[in-house]
Amino acid sequence: MEFDELPEEVRELIEQLDEAAEDEEEEAIEELTEKLLDTGVDMEAITLKKLSLCVMDGEEEMSVGWTKVALKIGIDPFKALLKGLAAGMSLIGDKYEKGEAFVPQLMIASSAMYEGMELLSPYLKANSSGADPSTVVIGTVEGDVHDIGKNLVKTLLSANGFNCVDLGNDVEADRFVEAAKEYQATAVSMSTLMTTTMAEMPKVINMLESSGMRDKIKVMVGGAPLSTDYAAKIGADVSPKDAAGAANWLKTTLSESPSDTENLN
Amino acid sequence: MVSEMTSRERVLAMLNGKPVDRVPVVTGSTMVVEYIKKSGGKWPDFHSNPEMMVNVAGMMHTDAGIDSVVVPFGMFVESIALGLDVKMGRVDIQPSVRSFFKKPEEVNYANFLENTYVQTTLEAIKLAKEKYPEAAIAPFLVAPVTLAGDLMGAENLSMLSIKCLQKEKQMAKMEKWLSIALEINKIYAKACIEAGADLLYYSDASASPNLVMPDFYYKVGVPVEKELGDFIHELGCPWVLHICGDTVPIIEGMASTGADCLSVEQAVDMKKATEIVGAVPIAGNLTPLLMVEGTEEQIVNETRKGLNGGAKASMLGCGTPPLSTSDRLKTWVKAAVEWSAENL
């Protein structure tokens, strides 16, 4: 879907709808949606593209507005989430990975994605296809309250179809292990920003080992002070460079062992 | 060859761009467990007992040979004094701020200086000055962007840092938070200088390109840091500015604040940084973890790498890890001394 190739009349209506969404004018959004449908244009393709672009640009109000459009024209809510909102999160994630975007851009994109997701969530539950997505238990280790990085990893994992169990920050080692057991997690993701709390990570890995769960679970560790060497030393599977890298790594790794991937979108 | 200097003279000469007998070795926060134990410090008392605090921090100077004595331990004092929730950590984990304000109007700093933890810092400065007059007494303070981030929450700071560049209304919000942070910074800075600080060491951790847009740092961060810096200079005190992360994209901005020295972390290419800023001295930039588990060779190599890259003081890239060992700290100081003997 290239907007440039659309008729001028359609492009104008889309712009007006952007403005109505920005100003949160419900009636105008509905009216303009009708008008766009009347033009006979492929509204689903336009809406999905707009959703991804609004999330990529971190436009909260516009993401919400276009999510309303998606619901109004009857796009499958799962499709609106994965091909629209989450696709936008992946776009900005890729840019960040290439050094073309900064953390605040990821954060406003994440917030735009969640705003849209909130509208979709009642319909998502109703539409659940039955297959549970792979679960990742995620948290910042004990003694560390920095959770921006952890939240970004969570967002990008969610955007890639994973179900995240977020334990928050300052999480004691045994809570990671308990949660991994309770939710039958495919992976555990631990984060820390401080050199002072890095030692909590091997603690969790040792506990997973002694409870016999380590072989079935991928362990990801991340945060500014960590290196690949350190990750290897403590027995983690990976220390991805950033949030986008984490999501990509897990997706790729699981698709290489097919038994784990059947539930992934 | 410059004749032998005291630690204080050495640090002040470096800040003034004057010749030194050897490069100074300085630190940020120094809550080192080994020194807590050796000096009889007790958690969490050493955060609120000035004598205990100075005894712990002082061992960095008397035992390890570091040129500065740095108090307090961690970046929580401003926040706790404003009534925010702070978790006190453990003997080996620094306190951390756990809450933030919803609106700038909620911040009340009328009695800021009367707070126990602020008073502890001020008393500790006085005491350190008495006990170690030959050392550079360097209070460790939270700089304005980071303090604004503590006030509004770091996540909000990060998001507002991009929104405020796009919309005037958001910029007005950001300015409101920053102006309060700056007022608090000035009150605290003045009190620290009056208590006898030789320099003020500011961490603007949250002004890092890891958290806010570099554009925001140049347009919004630099002017507030400069305003604080000018205020400190008017009171006759030098100041050092630390920002975390790879600060090469913003180092020109950091230099333009008028800071007397810039402190950078291990992610920074020292040579590149010193080439960009020219005359402003840079301190750095050993990997802090080396003080916990580094070999002698690693410590010596990283010390020399920073100094060969043009650093005017040797410093860790971030605070001194609590589990640092005294033998490693001494190896580091020795490496800087030996480098100086060969190169100055």
Residue B101 has pLDDT above 70, yes or no: yes
> Where does a domain end: A126, A152, A171?
A126
Q: Considering only A155-164, A233-242, B137-146, B187-196, which range has the smallest mean pLDDT?
A: A155-164
Domain total in chain A: 2
Determine which of A196, A198, A201, A234 to mutate to test the interface with B (most B C-beta atoms within 10 Å).
A196
- pLDDT tens for each residue of A63-98: 999 999 999 999 998 889 888 998 898 899 888 878
- Which contiguous run of DSSP H or E holds residue B136? strand B136-137
CATH number of domain containing A14: 1.10.1240.10
- What mean pLDDT do residues A41-61 have? 95
Q: Are residues A117 and A149 in the same domain?
A: no
Q: Are residues A151 and A237 in the same domain?
A: yes
Per the CB < 8 A criterion, the answer to whether B13 and B5 are in contact is yes
Tokens of A182: 């309770």
Tokens of A164: 């995240």
Q: What is the pLDDT of residue A262?
A: 39
C-alpha closest to that of B72 among B103, B46, B97, B43: B46
Determine which of A103, A140, A142, A203 to mutate to test the interface with B (most B C-beta atoms within 10 Å).
A103
CATH number of domain containing A252: 3.40.50.280
Q: What is the pLDDT of residue B339?
A: 98
Choose the closest CB to B94 out of A170, A196, A224: A196
As for the ipTM of the complex, it is: 0.73
- CA A175, CA B309: separation in Å to the nearest integer? 45
Residue B13 contacts A, CB cutoff 8 Å: no
Contacts of A196 in chain B (CB under 8 A): 92-94, 321-323
Mean pLDDT of chain B: 96
Residue A191 has pLDDT above 80, yes or no: yes
Contacts of A170 in chain B (CB under 8 A): 87
Percentage with pLDDT > 70 across chain A: 93
Contacts of A105 in chain B (CB under 8 A): 162, 213
Determine which of A57, A102, A155 to mutate to test the interface with B (most B C-beta atoms within 10 Å).
A102
**Higher-scoring residue by pLDDT: A131, A180:** A180
Chain A, nearest residue to B205 by Cα? A193
- What mean pLDDT do residues A141-169 have? 86
Q: Considering only A170-184, A249-263, B97-111, B289-303, which range has the smallest mean pLDDT?
A: A249-263
Residue A260 has pLDDT above 50, yes or no: no
Q: What is the pLDDT of residue B210?
A: 84
Q: Are residues A149 and A194 in the same domain?
A: yes
Per the CB < 8 A criterion, the answer to whether B11 and B260 are in contact is no
- What mean pLDDT do residues B229-247 have? 97
> Where does a domain end: A126, A159, A188?
A126
Residue B87 contacts A, CB cutoff 8 Å: yes
SS3 B269: coil
- CA B211, CA B75: separation in Å to the nearest integer? 17
Q: How far is A108 from chain B (nearest CA, A)?
A: 6
Q: Considering only A1-10, A134-143, B331-340, which range has the smallest mean pLDDT?
A: A1-10
Contact assignment for B213 to A111 by CB distance below 8 Å: no
Choose the closest CB to A105 out of B94, B162, B244: B162
**Cβ contacts of residue A210 below 8 Å, gap of 6+?**
none
Chain B, nearest residue to A96 by Cα? B210
Cα dihedral sign, B232-B234-B238-B240: positive
Contacts of A225 in chain B (CB under 8 A): 288-289
Q: What is the pLDDT of residue A257?
A: 65
Percentage with pLDDT > 70 across chain B: 100
- What mean pLDDT do residues B299-320 have? 97
* pLDDT band, very low/low/confident/very high, at A159 (cuts 50, 70, 90): confident
Distance of CA B46 to the CA centre of its chain: 19
Q: Are residues A183 and A206 in the same domain?
A: yes
Q: What is the pLDDT of residue A145?
A: 76
- Cβ-Cβ contacts under 8 Å between A and B: the total is 61
Q: What is the pLDDT of residue B300?
A: 98
* pLDDT band, very low/low/confident/very high, at A193 (cuts 50, 70, 90): confident
Strand pairing category for B86-87 and B96-97 = antiparallel
Contacts of A104 in chain B (CB under 8 A): 158-159, 161-162, 211-213, 216
Q: Backbone phi, then psi, for B86, in 5-degree steps?
A: -130, 130
Residue A127 has pLDDT above 50, yes or no: no
- What mean pLDDT do residues B184-206 have? 98
Contacts of B323 in chain A (CB under 8 A): 196
B154-166 vs A148-159: helix crossing angle, rounded to 10: 70
Tell whether domain B7-343 is in CATH 3.20.19.10: no
The answer to whether residue A265 sits within a structural domain is no
Q: What is the pLDDT of residue A143?
A: 80
Tokens of A211: 């409870």
Residue A194 has pLDDT above 80, yes or no: no
Q: What is the pLDDT of residue A263?
A: 39
Tokens of A87: 């696709």
Q: How far is A129 from chain B (nearest CA, A)?
A: 34
- pLDDT tens for each residue of B6-34: 999 999 999 999 999 999 999 999 999 99
- pLDDT tens for each residue of B62-96: 999 999 999 999 999 999 999 999 999 889 989 98
* pLDDT band, very low/low/confident/very high, at A228 (cuts 50, 70, 90): confident
Q: What is the pLDDT of residue A261?
A: 39
Q: How far is B154 from chain A (nearest CA, A)?
A: 8
- pLDDT tens for each residue of B207-236: 998 889 999 999 999 999 999 999 999 999
> Where does a domain end: A126, A160, A181?
A126
- What mean pLDDT do residues B99-123 have? 97
Q: First-to-last CA distance in chain A?
A: 22
- CA B78, CA A118: separation in Å to the nearest integer? 36
Choose the closest CB to A111 out of B94, B159, B245: B159
Choose the closest CB to B289 out of A103, A148, A195: A195
Q: What is the pLDDT of residue A99?
A: 82
Per the CB < 8 A criterion, the answer to whether B82 and B153 are in contact is no
Q: What is the pLDDT of residue B25?
A: 98
Chain B, nearest residue to A110 by Cα? B159
Which residues on chain A place their C-beta less than 8 Å from a C-beta of chain B? 58, 102-105, 107-108, 111, 143-146, 148, 151, 170, 195-198, 224-225
Contacts of B321 in chain A (CB under 8 A): 195-196
Q: Are residues A203 and A143 in the same domain?
A: yes
- Which contiguous run of DSSP H or E holds residue B263? strand B261-263
Q: How far is B323 from chain A (nearest CA, A)?
A: 8
Contacts of B163 in chain A (CB under 8 A): 108
Choose the closest CB to A104 out of B87, B90, B161: B161
Residue B161 has pLDDT above 80, yes or no: yes
Q: How far is B289 from chain A (nearest CA, A)?
A: 6
* pLDDT band, very low/low/confident/very high, at A265 (cuts 50, 70, 90): very low
Choose the closest CB to B213 out of A104, A145, A197: A104
Q: How far is B199 from chain A (nearest CA, A)?
A: 26
Q: Are residues A168 and A234 in the same domain?
A: yes
Q: Are residues A150 and A253 in the same domain?
A: yes
Per the CB < 8 A criterion, the answer to whether B123 and B47 are in contact is no
- What mean pLDDT do residues B54-60 have? 98
> B315 has which bridge partners?
B285
**Higher-scoring residue by pLDDT: A3, B115:** B115
Range of the domain at A112: 3-126
